[in-house]
Amino acid sequence: MKKQLLIIPFIIFLFILLTFFYLLAIERNPSELPSNLLDKKIPKFETESLLKNERFISAKEFGKEKILVNFFATWCQPCRTEHTYIKRFSKEKGIRIIGINYKDNPKKAVEWLRKLGNPYSDVPVDKNGRIAIDWGVYGIPETFVINSNGIIKYRHIGPVTKKIYKKINLLISDIE
């Protein structure tokens, strides 16, 4: 009886070891966190537009069609890398993309878009990063997929890669 009981800690230890090994082995990015805003309405905001002379009012823009929201800045190197894919979304999918310019120099941002091409239908300016905080953003670039009811269906943290591009592409076709 006693000897049988002694095997229990060993089994528990083995179980814990296997769990840890499993968590290490599966493909997982620990810095990627679930969004608290998933399946919720987009946070409302109002700010200046980088390229237009009128103010950007979120209530007017969202809730009619599917929209991609992309947080970007000229000082962010991964934003430049993912830019080709952002352009492909607008070209191949014809989806409206709103690019929120995060804590950036407006002049540089205009120049950056002129040089690399502008896939955004509008570029609201987030001067002090407060809009990003409302969206729960903590590391740009970040991309959100919004459905036609103005509800956030997907969030990607980090640059859009080929794999993510395909994933978001499928998602855009799936959601209403």
Partner 1 sequence: MIKKKFIIIISICLVHFFLNNVQAVEPDEILKNQKQELRARDISKNIRCMVCQNQSIDESNAPLAKDLRILIREKIKEGKNNDEIYEFLTDRYGDFILLNPPFKLNTLVLWFFPFIFFGIGIFIIFFHNKKSKQN
Told to check if 17 binds partner 1 by CB under 8 A, we report no
Beta-carbon contacts of residue 50 (< 8 Å; ≥ 6 apart): 101, 106, 109, 110, 123, 124, 125
Confirm if 176 and 148 have CB atoms less than 8 A apart: yes
Of the candidates 63, 78, 117, 136, which one interacts with partner 1 according to CB under 8 A? 136
Q: Say whether 1 sits in a helix, a strand or coil.
A: coil
Told to check if 5 binds partner 1 by CB under 8 A, we report yes
CB of residue 87 to partner 1, shortest distance in Å? 27
CB of residue 10 to partner 1, shortest distance in Å? 13
CB of residue 98 to partner 1, shortest distance in Å? 19
Nearest in space to 147 (alpha carbons), one of 172, 115, 111, 116:
172
Told to check if 11 binds partner 1 by CB under 8 A, we report no
Q: Where are the alpha helices (DSSP H) in 26-161?
A: 58-61, 77-88, 106-116, 130-134
Size of the site for partner 1 (CB under 8 A): 19
Nearest in space to 143 (alpha carbons), one of 154, 132, 127:
154
Going residue by residue from 76 to 115, which x/- string records binding to partner 1, judged by CB under 8 A? ---------------------------x------------
Owner of token pair 């929209």:
67
Confirm if 62 and 146 have CB atoms less than 8 A apart: yes
Told to check if 64 binds partner 1 by CB under 8 A, we report no
Of the candidates 35, 74, 101, 118, which one interacts with partner 1 according to CB under 8 A? 35
Of the candidates 62, 135, 144, 165, which one interacts with partner 1 according to CB under 8 A? 135
